[in-house]
Amino acid sequence: MSSFDQASRQGEPIHQEVDVAQPGSLHLLNTPGLTPGGGPAPMPTTVRRQHIRGTSLASQALSRSLQFTVRPALSVWSRTSRLPWPVALIDKAAGALRPIDGTTYQPVRLQNCNAEWLQGPGSNTKHVILYLHGGAFLCCGIRTHRRLVSRISAVSQSAVLMVDYRMLPAATVTDSIADGVDAYRWLLDNGYSSEQITVAGDSAGGYLAFAVPLAIEAAGMPMPAAIVAISPLTEMDPTHKMQSKNAKRCSMFPKNAVPQLTKISERQDQTAMASRGQAPRVCPVNADLRNMPPTLIQVGSHEMLLEDSELIAERLAQAGVPCELQIWDRQPHVFPVFADVIPEGQRAIAEIGRFIRTTHGSLLTAVN
């Protein structure tokens, strides 16, 4: 077990789930138990869990193409990760990915990193999303995620502050979290209240979508109104992911890539603890989650990170936090990013918009 996971996994509740062809009908799942710290549990709530059945031919083709392209590349990387891979080129090359028509964006400078203020068509500045991109804490950035985020902005009718946070190996995951907190503070300083802010992210950014609010709470600031996590990483310890059935059938991640990421992050953490007194990091699944806001989690049924999504949903429910967990049938990792080519991506983004709009109350403008 990772030295940065401070609490052991506990007995997990039995799941019951409902199959639905479309999002909307939610099944309530009781999840009693103790907090990860071992103290008395708050009044438990329920995970609203859906298993959304049906996989389009386009999505099946996409998963197969990822299986024969991205997955082998990541397998090679996991065996040669100490080589100077030009990962920064991924975000630069993604400049060709344009946001959806009608989107405006401009740069923002935070204390230690850049960010971008973005508004999709039909959005307004009444509410804002603090968005944290994925990429295993190693790659991707504003350019790779601008199109996805512009879609989320449009359907949620919210402005977005997307953070180009510091990443491995030049920085630690704790530094990435600090950049997210700086972005939140920037929003507060610019007139937003916590009730107007949703924190969202995908993959590694999904880790940050939970870790940043926890750091916000530790800093004594008010918590955001909601969290949205797409295919989130929530536990750096790879043990349970490696043992799951999805370790062999995930279309994007080979089995050997996950522990390699853990090694890199731990190596940088150990260096930072020794050189600048960085405190040990606790993964979201092992943190005190009692004050977290309502949360939506989306994940594919065959993803290696399904394990992480289910565990954080259970821990949130044990802590009394309302949580919606949507498991989409055989969808690849962070499938909403492929909304241009698969209908499931479009539907999932619509669900994100529905969740954010519901969290902030009914808006006057109808969304199709």
8 Å CB contact between 233 and 168: no
DSSP 184: H
List 235, 266, 303, 314, catalytic entry: 303
Task: Give the strand pairing for 158-164 and 114-119.
Answer: antiparallel
Cα 320 to chain centroid distance, Å, stands at 20
3-state secondary structure of 30: strand
Task: Give the strand pairing for 114-119 and 104-109.
Answer: antiparallel
Give catalytic status of residue 333 as yes or no: yes
Distance CA 45, CA 235 (A): 22
Give catalytic status of residue 217 as yes or no: no
Count, in order, helices (H) and strands (E) of the chain: 11, 11
Distance CA 220, CA 212 (A): 13
Give catalytic status of residue 240 as yes or no: no
Residue from 6, 1, 13, 8 nearest 316 by CA:
13
List 2, 176, 203, 244, catalytic entry: 203
The string over 54-63, giving b where at least 16 C-beta atoms fall within 10 Å of a residue's C-beta and e elsewhere, is ebbeebeebb
Provide the β-strand partners of residue 324: 48, 296
8 Å CB contact between 109 and 145: no
CA 221 → CA 208, 218, 224, 235, distances in Å? 17, 8, 9, 24
Tokens read off for 217: 């709470």
| Maximum separation of any 2 CA atoms in the chain, in Å | 54
List 333, 344, 351, 360, catalytic entry: 333
8 Å CB contact between 349 and 336: yes
Catalytic residue annotation: 203, 303, 333
